[in-house]
Amino acid sequence: MTSHTVTRHDVTFGSGGDTCAAWLFLPDGVENPPVVILGHGLGATREMRLDAFAERFAQAGIAALAFTYRHFGDSTGRPRQLLSIKRQLADWDAAIAHVKTRPDIDNTRVAVWGSSFGGGHAVIVAARHPELLAAIAQCPFTDGLASARALGPKGTMRVLPAVAADILSHVRGKAPVLLTLAGAPGEKALMTAPDALPGYLALVPEGGTFVNEVAARVAPTITWHRPGKAAKDVQMPILFCICDHDSVTPPDETIAYALTAPKNEIKRYDAGHFDIYLGEPFEAVVADQTEFLTRHLKA
């Protein structure tokens, strides 16, 4: 397979009156390449290893747009650290609309790629956009109740006071009450699996920053969010990359949902939720994803 040199461009696109910051990776010397849009997981930004995947896809001749959701990173949106499922899905719609206007890519050959919480988004977006040619859901969040069980009843009880305080703050028009996103076991946080905090920190580039907080009001919306139910409505080929030792998005539920997608392809990895971004697990998954995208986007 030809390996292209890659040029990264800083781009932005509008969403709901705000601006999403993004990187567009273009394969040098390829006219009208297909494009894959990449979105990250819970509270993460594109700097946290989305560039690693995007660059590999671009080396294979596939343009890649990696973006950061509103309210996070260098995208705009107030208040900061607000995780709204509805707004993040609107950001995906805006990203798709943006690539359809670009003259430097083939806007008839578009795919989406989401990881973790973004993997759940990718399933919903693929179901809503039948014009897409392919979708990838990596260690996807598919069932909030299953993830809540992974947190456990004690962990759930720890976050409830912050949730109540933030909802009251929102009603009063005050600044959000923030909740730790990833914490050590036993701490008050949305994720407390042993690999959650070190897993997030391992994705932060040297000299980079990661704001390990979200507005607490999101917790109940996550619990009742079941993006896996949309898999049955995804009409294009969709690749599910599932980690067998996933402590955040339990693999059994994900596999059950994946099997309902009419054109599903399932790959499993001997890895944990955060292992997939680095080292040998990364090399394995990015090779599978590149092959999948090349095949279905006719790169």
pLDDT of residue 150: 65
Q: How far apart are CA 188 and CA 201, in angstroms?
A: 18
Q: How many domains does the chain have?
A: 1
In degrees and rounded to multiples of 5, residue 139 shows phi and psi of 35, 55
Ordered per-residue pLDDT tens for the chain, 299 residues: 679 999 999 999 999 999 999 999 999 999 999 999 999 999 999 999 999 999 999 999 999 999 999 999 999 999 999 999 999 999 999 999 999 999 999 999 999 999 999 999 999 999 999 999 999 999 999 998 887 776 666 777 888 888 899 999 999 999 999 999 999 998 999 888 899 999 999 999 999 989 999 999 998 899 899 999 999 999 999 999 999 999 889 999 999 999 999 999 999 999 999 999 999 999 999 999 999 999 999 98
Query: For residue 21, what are the domain limits?
Result: 6-143+226-297
Quick check: is 162 in a domain? no
The three-state secondary structure class of 285 is helix
The number of beta carbons lying within 10 Å of the beta carbon of residue 210 is 18
Quick check: is 168 in a domain? no
Quick check: is 204 in a domain? no
Q: How far apart are CA 187 and CA 88, in angstroms?
A: 27
Torsion angle, CA of 158/162/164/169, rounded to 10 degrees?
180
CATH code where residue 83 lies? 3.40.50.1820
Distances (CA, A) of 53 to 84, 102, 206: 25, 21, 18
What global pTM score does this model have?
Answer: 0.96
Quick check: is 205 in a domain? no
Q: How far apart are CA 252 and CA 95, in angstroms?
A: 31
Quick check: is 284 in a domain? yes
pLDDT of residue 154: 73
